[in-house]
Amino acid sequence: MRIGQGYDVHKLAEGRDLILGGVKVPYEKGLLGHSDADVLVHAVIDALLGAAALGDIGEHFPDTDPKYKGVSSIELLKHVGGLLEEQGYVIENIDATVIAQKPKLLPYRRSMAQNIEEALKLTEGKVNVKATTEEGLGFTGMGEGISSQAIVLLTSMNDYCYDDRIMAADCKGCCGGCGK
């Protein structure tokens, strides 16, 4: 099993949509960035890449590349999901927290989780999205920006075949390692 942790932060600015977890959240400001600046998805991407030892979001999607200007972070997440699949990783779960004084995110959290699950082809319940404030402290508490943290657990397909505690009794030899 492999664990990855991700963090992202963006400044709030006038004239931008607030996109979190692929959801357009009604608010007078949005996050400033080269892409749609979705801090939640960016933290998840970094956690996934880190767990798989595949670098970080800036390495895969540099903000100096014009093709990523205004891109949906959900599309970037789909690409990372494909990379993990190619490397033989299974996403066990994702737990993420958005840190924002405003707006209140409770009505949108389930949709955010569903968007992440759909982008990564995960079953329902594999992604949890939480939100918290910082009680008026720091840049998030003063409404200057929003940050997000994520942690993920990956399992290599090889682990499924070599560990008989995880492997089903009727294993059909998915990786050729267990000989069944």
Residues annotated in the binding site, as ranges?
Answer: 8-10, 34-35, 42, 56-58, 61-65, 132-135, 139
Strands (E), 81-163: 89-99, 127-132, 145-156
Ordered strands of the 89-99 beta sheet: 30-31, 2-13, 145-156, 89-99, 127-132
The single-letter code of the amino acid at 144 is E
How are beta strands 30-31 and 89-99 bridged, if at all?
unpaired
Query: Which of 90, 10, 89, 84 lies closest to 45, judged by CA?
Result: 84
Cα separation, 59 vs 127, whole angstroms = 24
Q: Cis bond leading into 107, ω under 30°? A: no
Q: State the Cα angle at 178 between 176 and 180, rounded to 5°.
A: 85
